[in-house]
Amino acid sequence: MAFSQCVGNDAWRQTMLEEMKRELSFYPDVQFIYRDANGSNERQVAQISDLMRRHVDLLIVSPNETQPLTPIVDSVFREKIPVIVTDRKTGSGLYHAYVGADNVAIGRLAGQYIHQLSSKRLNIGMISGLGGSSASIERQRGLRKVVDSLPSMRIGIALEGDWTKETAYRLAKANLSELLKQDVVLAFNDQMAKGVQQAYTEAGHTDRKILGIDALPGEGNGLEAVNKGVLYASLLYPTGGAEAIRTAIAILEKKPFIRDNILGTVVIDHTNAALMALQSQKIKDQQEDIDKRQQLIATQQEVYKNQRTTLNTLAVS
Ligand code: FRU
């Protein structure tokens, strides 16, 4: 089983990989090949071609940008190698299964949430993600649908980021006065929202409404930022790592599987951030407990194997 990740070095995708590995630990016979394209379309295409040459039995892929990745993923599909697309999508719809949240719905929900923040006119500063990635295109489509249907809402400034904090920080610094004229800023992920927040703080503005997407638990991530009041709100974007592996196993074992696995979302703000943080800590503790038990079983199996070898040797001598 191979997994082609578009970019591996951010916390959200590291969490996805951890979830995958935890789920894979229940299937010790599966060999897992991981490739990180480091944000390069060309590298991801080359890595997938190489995986095909290695005759993998199944490919999980999170495509960096839609158009450049569509032909190679389509050719894997046409070779009859099962393909699971996760988080971002290709352009053709040629895949065996999809695992991820509905990004149009996320954009729409963000718009609806912003709408109910005020009965007055609302200007939104929008920082989208990498232009050719489906998550950014779809979030924008959902947001614009809501904004276009409501005369009291307007996108006052639209800036294109690349999902990273650094770029969003630079963009925010360069467009500070325009952004400050907006009532809220919606960045398409929490890392970019934190970039904007940093630029604002440096300019002495700490009371502005900045919203993000992901609400990832853990230190330095979105959920914590909302909980601390650093970000005003975030929308949960589950990584789907465990679901991707479960779907992959079902396909490999020729069991029934769901083609479109749409993961749920929810708005996180000051009303529920503490509860969410508490719940995710509890889940983390339980997962660590499962990890420990698995390690214990593995050690005991090793001891048992050694004892049997000793017994066999004794019987022979
Ligand atoms: C992580 C990320 C997330 C975002 C998703 C969109 O690389 O930028 O923050 O929600 O990708 O595909």
Q: How confident is the model at residue 44 (pLDDT cuts 50, 70, 90)?
A: very high
Is the shortest distance between the CB of 10 and ligand 1 below 6 Å? yes
Site to substitute for ligand 1 among 7, 9, 12, most atoms within 8 A of C-beta:
12
Distance 114 CA to ligand 1 centre (A): 21
Q: Please answer whether residues 35 and 25 qualify as being in contact, where contact means their C-beta atoms are separated by less than 8 angstroms.
A: no
Alpha-carbon span 55 to 38, nearest angstrom:
23
213 Cβ below 6 A of ligand 1 = yes
Q: Would you say the CB of residue 192 lies under 6 angstroms from ligand 1?
A: no
What's the pLDDT at 130?
A: 97
pLDDT band at 316 (very low <50, low <70, confident <90, very high): confident
Comparing 117-126, 212-221, 299-308, the range with the smallest average pLDDT is 299-308
* Contact (Cβ atoms closer than 8 angstroms) between residue 241 and residue 110: no
Is the pLDDT at 235 greater than 80, yes or no? yes
pLDDT above 90: residue 194:
yes
Cβ of residue 36 lying under 6 Å from some atom of ligand 1 = no
Q: Is 237 in the pocket of ligand 1 (CB under 6 A)?
A: yes
Integer angstrom CA distances of residue 88 from 46, 62, 144, 193, 270: 18, 6, 19, 20, 29
Confidence of residue 309 (pLDDT cuts 50, 70, 90): confident
CA 44 vs. chain centroid, Å, equals: 17
Q: What is the mean pLDDT of residues 142-165?
A: 97
Q: What is the pLDDT of residue 40?
A: 98
What does the pLDDT average to over 227-250? 98
Closest ligand 1 atom, residue 213 Cα: 10
Does the beta carbon of 12 lie inside 6 Å of ligand 1?
Answer: yes
| pLDDT score at 91 | 96
Residue 152: its pLDDT value, please?
94
Q: Span 17-32, mean pLDDT?
A: 94
Residue 223 to residue 216: CA distance in whole angstroms: 5
Q: What is the structure's pLDDT at 308?
A: 83
User: With contact defined as beta carbons under 8 Å apart, do 211 and 231 qualify?
Assistant: yes
**What is the model's pLDDT at position 305?**
86
Establish whether this prediction's ipTM goes over 0.90: yes
Q: What separation in Å is there between the alpha carbon of 163 and the centre of ligand 1?
A: 6
For residues 259, 260, 263, 264, the Cα torsion angle rounded to the nearest 10 degrees is -130
Query: What is the reported pLDDT for 89?
Result: 96
Confidence band for 66, pLDDT divided at 50, 70 and 90: very high
Residue 237 has pLDDT above 90, yes or no: yes
Residue 73: CA count within 13 A, CB half-sphere: 35
Q: How far, in Å, CA of 205 to CA of 259, rounded?
A: 46
Answer yes or no: is the C-beta of 7 below 6 A from any ligand 1 atom.
Answer: yes
Quick one: pLDDT at residue 311?
Answer: 81
Asked if the model's pLDDT at residue 125 lies above 80, the reply is yes
Quick one: average pLDDT of 285-290? 88
Mean pLDDT of 285-314: 87
Confidence at 315, pLDDT banded by 50, 70, 90: confident
The 3 state secondary structure assigned to the chain is CEEEECCCCCHHHHHHHHHHHHHHCCCCCCCCEEEECCCCHHHHHHHHHHHHHCCCCCEEEECCCHHHHHHHHHHHHHCCCCEEEECCCCCCCCCCEEEEECHHHHHHHHHHHHHCCCCCCEEEEEEECCCCCHHHHHHHHHHHHHHHHCCCEEEEEEEECCCCHHHHHHHHHHCHHHHHCCCEEEECCHHHHHHHHHHHHHCCCCCCEEEEEECCCCCCCHHHHHHCCCCCEEEECCCCHHHHHHHHHHHHCCCCCCCEEEECCCEECCCCHHHHHHHHHHHHHHHHHHHHHHHHHHHHHHHHHHHHHHHHHHHHC
- Say if residue 248's pLDDT is above 80: yes
